[in-house]
A and B are shown apart, each in its own frame.
Chain A
């Protein structure tokens, strides 16, 4: 009964989405206020039905209803309750339902926080979001219904993939989807502005907080995913250039570009056509990511059940959503004009350069991800493009981004003099170079030029972020007043750039100075790596709720202190999977990482030991960037923007004001 209720609720949600898009879009085109007013209640009702549908599925999981095919495939009665609930999005059907639910949540948010916006604009935004929702809901109902019943239910379920039985995997997909789907708001704003011909500074200001919030979730989701891969996959890496990871990284890069481009459009009224295009790209890449993961055109470690029929459906969805919006862009963008002038050397152009680099980086990842597919389509066979390609292409593209992120905040709008900026920052740059080289030479390797370059960049990024903050503060007489007078978005930018520096330090040092050893260890034996002595004390048997494990016991001696680490090798009963649970001793300057390999004769085991310097800074940097985003979002400007706004004017006059 409950699953059927969920199914009906899902169909009702589709009906609401139909109403939410048809009447408001037609109303906005014809100027009929009553039709436009339908958007908000329809959006809210859609969300309500989605909650009911999702709740029904969650209830089926909680109550071990194995007559539901999806539950039988992804759960088991011995699975702990919290994993039974997170198993709702452990497979394809449920994760698509989560996608739809989150789109409903963003729709709800737009209905609540759009009071200050013009009625026809809101109607168009919600109408476009409704269109996307129709596509996704049809996809679920027609090809991936999670409520499908089994004629003869099994006694027990197939259990959740052990890789997903982990806190990181409970939180990772919802966060990532909040980011992916959140970009649909910026997308809908862009399409609504194209439809209504209101592409102006006010549009950019409304889009910014939505984009920022989506970006924050995306940053968090990716950071979490990387952390999860590190401790759960059991081989000490944090990023694998896997198609699924790339699918989340491409929208992130474009969303980052979009945030910067929106700020130019908001403050200077420039780059309007480009900004709109980025907003379309960012969400298109999110959809494309869904397609790549769900259709089975690419192979991936995250291999979910794939199905070409679903692939064809998503492909058609892509064609309509992305193709339609790009067609609209081709029609409308030529009429959009920037009335602002700026010199070749100016903050505008530096931000444009940063944008181009970020988009190129995203493009090269797309190329690398699709290259196997291109070869395949040309009949040249299936291959795998590995980290060698991505490392070779990505590093040279990102280095100038880091330089720019440091220097661009110091350039004034409109026109800048390179000589003046150099005079201000020359000493700073030299100091960073000396610090970078010095740190590398003293603490690491005096001949390691790559590390010197990377650390110099990181120091430069951090120093210039703080330097540009101090020079803003110095404009006031007293530093306290100076600090207070800065807007939250200035602090946000500073924090985000600092986070980037922290991230770079982590990537560089953990990449170049990790020590790892794969050894055979018998009980009582000691192995030394990087000043740490690991003594293997033996293995004991441990029973978990749905697995049995061999639990290793290691004593680690670090100088005068000693502590224990307990890596496990788990065997999950139902899926008969072996899982490696690494034991990690985290630290600011290094992680110690022990993983059990295979058992050998006489109680010996093959063991992997790692010492990874500064690896935690990678995720730390992600979190600091995220905090920067949060600071920016809390800027007063955006709260004011939610109130009725007098700057709402047709495109041409608004941009004249900005100029």
Chain B
């Protein structure tokens, strides 16, 4: 048996292991080096109007969420209904960071799926995303009244994560300062 004919089989075996591990996985949080640090400052035009700016100063004085999204991101569609629901309850303001996107596509996307965001910053070249340590879309940050990042959720939000992690944290943070 010549070895080169074993290559397809070995590649497939690797793939199989990967898929097997993949089956066991759930979207879950990952520790971020940014937790406990002040939100990296930014000032970007909003998706809706190039003339308006959304800056990190907005986070001062209120507990808020920052959700990183893009119209090309499939997983974002999955978590979107949850964000819409959350924005209707008015529990916590949600801001968007529109990552490496094009404006018409982003607008069309919000138009189609609904817009849960107070405002979305338009980060066309992804520089702000890099500052924030974003390595994938979607991600959701919880920021406290002093503008400090307290939690980061990677991947599409789930009802469970929202109920068990994010919202309890938001409530504690809101009570903390008041």
Residue A386 is within 8 A (CB to CB) of chain B in the complex: yes
B54 within 8 A of A: no
CA distance A383 to B15 in the complex (A): 19
B51 in contact (CB, < 8 A): no
CB distance from A124 to the nearest CB of B (A): 21
Q: Are A516 and B18 in contact (CB under 8 A)?
A: no
A179 within 8 A of B: no
Taking a contact as CB atoms under 8 Å apart, the answer to whether A381 and B73 are in contact is no
Cα A242 to Cα B77 in complex, Å, equals 12
| B155 in the interface (beta carbon within 8 A) | yes
Look across to chain B and name the residue whose beta carbon is closest to the beta carbon of A312.
Answer: B23
A299 touches B8 (CB 8 A): no
**Residue A546 at the B interface, CB < 8 A?**
no
A383 contact from B22, B108, B155, Cβ within 8 A = B155
Contact of B104 among A281, A334, A384, A516 (CB under 8 A): A516
- Shortest Cβ gap from B83 to chain A (Å): 15
Q: Is the CB–CB distance between A299 and B74 below 8 Å?
A: yes
Contact with B along A312-351 (1 / 0, CB 8 A): 1001001100110011011101100000000000000000
* Contact of A235 with B5 in the complex, beta carbons under 8 Å: no
Are A373 and B5 in contact, with the CB atoms below 8 A?
Answer: no
Cβ 8 A contact of A273, one of B5, B109, B135:
B5
Is the pair B8, A277 in contact by a Cβ cutoff of 8 Å?
A: yes
Asked whether any CB of chain B lies closer than 8 Å to the CB of A376, the reply is: yes
Q: Is B116 an interface residue (CB 8 A)?
A: no
Q: Which of A582-626 contact B (CB under 8 A)?
A: 597-598, 606, 608
Give complex CA distance A597, B23 in Å.
38
Judged by a CB distance under 8 angstroms, whether A311 is at the interface is yes
Partner of A318, one of B16, B24, B107, B112: B16
Produce 1/0 per residue, B95-122, CB < 8 A to A: 0000010001001110110000000000
A315 touches B136 (CB 8 A): no
| Shortest beta-carbon distance from B27 to chain A in Å | 5
Give the tally of cross-chain contacts (CB within 8 A): 126
8 Å CB contact of B23 from A243, A297, A329, A386: A297
Question: Which residues from A are CB-within-8-Å of B21?
Answer: 377
Assess the B16–A323 pair: CB atoms within 8 A. yes
Cβ-neighbour of A597 out of B8, B16, B112, B139 (below 8 A): B112
Name the contact of B156 in the complex, choosing from A295, A299, A329, A386 (C-beta under 8 A): A299
Cβ–Cβ < 8 Å partners of B137 in chain A: 383-384, 386
Residue of B nearest to A608 (CB): B108
Cα–Cα, bound, A301→B72 (Å):
11
Find B107's partner among A273, A327, A374, A518 (CB 8 Å cutoff).
A518
Known contacts A315-B16, A384-B137; A329 and B22 CB within 8 A of each other: no
Which residue of chain B lies nearest to A331 when distances are taken between CB atoms in the complex?
B1
**When chains A and B are docked, how far (Å) is the Cα of A300 from the Cα of B77?**
9
**Interfacial chain B residues near A240, Cβ < 8 Å:** 74
* Complex contact B23–A382 (CB within 8 A): no
Q: Is B70 in contact with chain A by the CB < 8 A criterion? A: yes
A267-291 CB contact bits vs B (8 Å, 1 = yes)?
A: 0000001000100110010000001
Cβ 8 A contact of B74, one of A243, A375, A598:
A243
B154 at the interface (CB under 8 A from A): yes
Q: Quick check: is A426 within 8 A (CB to CB) of the other chain?
A: no
- B23 near A598 (CB under 8 angstroms)? no
Complex contact A330–B23 (CB within 8 A):
no
**Contacting residues of chain B (70-100) with chain A, CB-CB under 8 angstroms:** 70, 72-78, 100
Chain B residues with CB below 8 A from A273, complex form: 5
- Asked whether, in the complex, the Cβ of A384 is within 8 Å of the Cβ of B75, the reply is yes
Asked if A499 lies at the interface with its beta carbon under 8 angstroms from chain B, I say: no
A89 → chain B closest CB, angstroms? 23
B19 touches A234 (CB 8 A): no
Closest residue of B by beta carbon distance from A280: B8
Contact yes or no, A382 B5, CB < 8 A: no
| A329 interface neighbour in B9, B25, B75, B112, Cβ under 8 Å | B9
**Contact at B1–A330, with CB atoms within 8 Å?**
yes
- A387 touches which of B19, B72, B138, B155 (Cβ 8 Å): B72
Distance in Å: Cβ of B111 to nearest Cβ of chain A = 5
Q: Check B30–A329 contact: CB distance below 8 A.
A: no
Closest 7 CB pairs of A and B: A383-B136, A382-B155, A386-B72, A381-B154, A326-B9, A297-B22, A377-B21
Q: Report B's interface with A, CB cutoff 8 A.
A: 1-2, 5-6, 8-9, 12-13, 15-16, 18-25, 27-28, 30, 70, 72-78, 100, 104, 107-109, 111-112, 135-139, 154-156
A281-B8, A300-B74, A384-B74 provided; 11 other pairs, C-beta below 8 A?
A235-B108, A235-B112, A277-B8, A284-B12, A291-B19, A299-B75, A315-B20, A326-B12, A329-B5, A373-B18, A608-B108
